[in-house]
Amino acid sequence: GQNIDQPTEMTATEGAIVQINCTYQTSGFNGLFWYQQHAGEAPTFLSYNVLDGLEEKGRFSSFLSRSKGYSYLLLKELQMKDSASYLCAVRGGQNFVFGPGTRLSVLP
Amino acid sequence: GAGVSQSPSNKVTEKGKDVELRCDPISGHTALYWYRQRLGQGLEFLIYFQGNSAPDKSGLPSDRFSAERTGESVSTLTIQRTQQEDSAVYLCASSNSGGALDTQYFGPGTRLTVL
């Protein structure tokens, strides 16, 4: 079967750092993707990892460990506009399997 | 426009009616995906097109759901005899080639409400 787990909700303070974890069990692996989705809007691409390690992209970084079936998204210097859902998705074969998303609330 | 567009943006229908949802991908993108997102939940993969063919239809929930794509461009998702559980946002995404690391670009979605 295919399963992706993420925490349902997280809360953090403006200016802080937050780590959103994702664990997965999928048949096949061709990359792990992170998307941001603001309420009522479509998801937008943030990052992807195909090899183990950390990928840094400005305030956002994403880490992957394929042997552990684990990834995290690290958001630094949080801003109010970062309040959104963060979706972890694994590409196995030709389709994508999405996790349920983590709703992040950034408080002043 | 430069992005993925979908129409209608909102659709309210009565149980038992058929609905047709449209997706216009980014020009030149050969891969096209349909997803369903129920309120407060993650994305559920429905179907994937590479060109006009659909190598993966595994996500279609029942035989009431069908999709087609013509001219390697526009795609339509049809839901026959709609049920209340079909109420959701239907998202379309396209990517350049459908390769493993191809980035998907999402449309704004169609919010379907079945009364």
* pLDDT 10s digits, B72-110: 899 999 999 999 999 999 999 999 876 767 788 999 999
* Gap from B77 CA to chain A (nearest CA, Å): 17
Spell out which residues of chain A touch residue B45, defining contact as CB-CB under 8 Å. 95-98
Q: What is the pLDDT of residues A25-68, one digit of tens each?
A: 988 888 999 999 998 888 999 999 999 999 998 999 999 999 99
Q: Which amino acid is at B79?
A: I
Pick A42's closest partner by Cβ from B41, B44, B108. B108
CB contact residues (below 8 A), chain B span 34-63, against chain A: 35, 41-45, 48, 50, 55-56, 58-59
The residues that bridge with A106 in the sheet, in sequence order, are: A12
**CA distances in angstroms from B58 to A95, B49, B67, B104, B106, listed in the order given:** 9, 12, 12, 19, 20
Average pLDDT estimate for B50-78: 91
- Mutation for B interface: A5, A45, A102, most B CBs within 10 A: A45
The closest of A86, A71, A83 to A12, measured between CA atoms, is: A83
Backbone angles phi, psi at A80, to 5 degrees: -55, -35
- pLDDT value at A1 more than 70: no
Spell out which residues of chain A touch residue B105, defining contact as CB-CB under 8 Å. 45
Q: What is the pLDDT of residues B39-48, one digit of tens each?
A: 888 899 999 9
| pLDDT for position B39 | 86
* Gap from A49 CA to chain B (nearest CA, Å): 9
Task: Identify the three-state secondary structure at position A79.
Answer: coil
* Residue A93 tokens, joined: 């074969």
* Gap from A65 CA to chain B (nearest CA, Å): 17
Question: Mean pLDDT over all residues of chain A?
Answer: 93
